[in-house]
Amino acid sequence: MDRPSREQAAASAIDPASVFDLLPDAYLILNEDRTVVLANASYLRMVDVTLSEVQGRSVFDINQFGPPEQRAERYAWLKSALDNLVPGEQRVSPLLRYDIGRPSVTGGGPERYWQIKAGMLASGASEGQLIALCVLDVSESIATNERNQRERAKLRSQARLRQVLIEETTAQLRDHQEQFQQALAFAHVGAWELNPLTGTIACTEQCKANLGLPSSAVLDQQRFFSELVFPDDRARVHAAMTASSENRLPFEVEYRVVWPAQSVHWILVRAEGRYLPDGTLKSMLGFTLDITTRKEAELEQQAIAESEKRAREESDRTARAMDHFVTAVSHELRSPLGAILSWSALLQRSGDGSHVARATDVIERNARQLSHMVDDLLDSGAIATAKLSVNLQPVDLGALAGNVAEDIRMKAEAKGLSLKADDIRSCFVMADESRMKQIVWNLLSNAVKFSAQGTIELSVGLRDGMAELCVRDCGCGIEPEALGRIFERFEQFGAAGGGRVGGLGLGLWLVKNLVDLHHGKVFAQSAGRGHGATFHVMLPLYH
């Protein structure tokens, strides 16, 4: 036989049913009524059934497993694949989850996913139209796909695969960046990146807004430090950035910027560097946040805390001063009272007339001292309760000061001091004469009290359109830190800088308050310990 004849003979000897049974894919042959005509071995193994269990039955009725919901979905799935199928058409169904639930089924486990391919076979008119249904169990591919997705999710979470993430999500990156920009703008957070080679700073519009710049502004490192950062903060910010790049550590720093409207804003910046494999700084990434409101609240709280601390210290100091004042009052009152009582007792016991003049002099001097102290105490109470008033009249300050100097000259000379009052000019001021005498008396008395030797100078003249009274002594001087407190009530500064000397600690406080009542001002100057002090009283001239 020739070759074509042999091939035709071999083909006629092949059993089509055997070939169908050997197909690797699972197949069902259905008739026009959707009844199973044939099922190959692959199908029977896949669903773990025998041919007799499915042959002659409707494809909608076989393999009924799972809950009713799944069976209903399976019915609709088969119907959509088989209805209105025409010759020559190949129809592929979507995936369907249908759980057979038999451990013997390939792959095991209850969750199964299926897909079918349906096509109409050509046949004789007597046989009717037959449908070939290829049933595919895609559960393993679904599981593999899910495993791959989980693995990709793990890979995406690892920093070493960032580049892979970028390549996989390029299409979504722009959307994410836009959302990120919106979130940053909503939170008033600005992002920036510094190129250390060029000094250029690429930043978001919100970052520029935080710095008080328009969106079109160009920013670089030189402008940032020379124009934007508050001068007092520049060294600190620069040091933080330098230390961060040298130590390869993130940094955080707060600084001030002045906006074009001259308003000062506090900015928080956090950043860290990105480095090349050789350790060279590639760029520095960070963000800015306007923390003005928070910082102002912090500074306000700090100010309140400092104020409370100062108030406590002032309260403690006042309490100590009050204790010293009580001690001083007790001591100052005891001395003249003791002298008065002693000489009064001596007068009573002694009949010697020579003691009378001396006794009366001592009693009068100590009584006058007591009177001054009582007057000071009464005046201090009146000032503290705002009840002290002055009767202002035109007064020649020069003449008044000269008279007071003569009254106190004997006291100064008795201590070995020289009182010089040569530079006195006539200056008329509006003053309460008795209160003005009290001011001059207290200043001269203090000069005598704190000077051991030398000269005390009193002068009255004009300065800057005002009358000026100066009392210059050669006493122990005043330390710089004490100058601000010498006019406070109960404060006393002796030769050692803090020891108590004679007096109640009210003299200079009374002077200041009386000068204030005359619309003037008083201040002290001293070169320090051992250099004496000068007190200046400035009063408006009478016109």
Given 380, 399, 416, the domain boundary residue is 380
Domain assignment present for 103:
yes
Q: Which two structure tokens, joined as six digits, stand for 230?
A: 């508050």
Domain assignment present for 148:
no
Q: What is the pTM of this model?
A: 0.39
Domain assignment present for 362:
yes
**Residues 361 and 276 both lie in one domain:** no
**Residues 221 and 278 both lie in one domain:** yes
**Residues 351 and 397 both lie in one domain:** no
Domain assignment present for 280:
yes
Q: How many domains is the chain built from?
A: 4
Given 380, 410, 437, the domain boundary residue is 380
Domain span at residue 64? 3-137
**Residues 303 and 330 both lie in one domain:** yes
Domain assignment present for 94:
yes
**Region label for 363, one of left (φ > 0), alpha (ψ between -120 and 50) or beta (otherwise):** alpha
**Residues 206 and 78 both lie in one domain:** no
- State how far the Cα of 106 lies from the Cα of 143, in Å rounded to an integer: 14
**Residues 425 and 375 both lie in one domain:** no
Of 472, 467, 423, residue with least CA distance to 448? 472
- State how far the Cα of 434 lies from the Cα of 386, in Å rounded to an integer: 18
Q: Are 397 and 469 in contact (CB under 8 A)?
A: yes
Domain assignment present for 413:
yes
> pLDDT 10s per residue in the chain (543 long)?
565 555 555 445 556 667 788 888 889 889 988 999 999 988 898 888 899 998 999 989 898 888 889 889 989 989 988 888 888 888 888 888 888 765 555 444 567 888 889 988 866 555 578 888 898 888 888 888 888 888 877 776 775 666 666 677 666 766 666 665 665 666 568 888 999 889 899 888 888 888 888 988 898 988 888 888 989 999 999 999 889 888 888 989 998 998 888 888 998 889 898 888 888 888 998 888 888 888 888 888 888 988 888 888 877 777 665 655 555 555 556 556 666 766 676 666 665 666 666 667 667 666 766 666 666 666 666 666 667 778 899 999 999 999 999 988 988 888 899 999 889 999 999 999 988 998 999 899 889 988 888 999 999 999 999 999 999 998 888 888 888 788 887 666 654 444 445 555 677 888 898 899 899 999 999 988 878 899 999 999 988
**Residues 38 and 85 both lie in one domain:** yes
Q: Is the dihedral of CA 333, 419, 489, 368 positive or negative?
A: positive
Given 231, 261, 290, the domain boundary residue is 290
Q: Are 256 and 268 in contact (CB under 8 A)?
A: no
**Residues 398 and 511 both lie in one domain:** yes
Domain assignment present for 358:
yes
Here the CATH number for the domain that contains residue 182 is 3.30.450.20
**Residues 61 and 129 both lie in one domain:** yes
Q: Are 32 and 57 in contact (CB under 8 A)?
A: no
Residue 121: beta bridge partners? 130
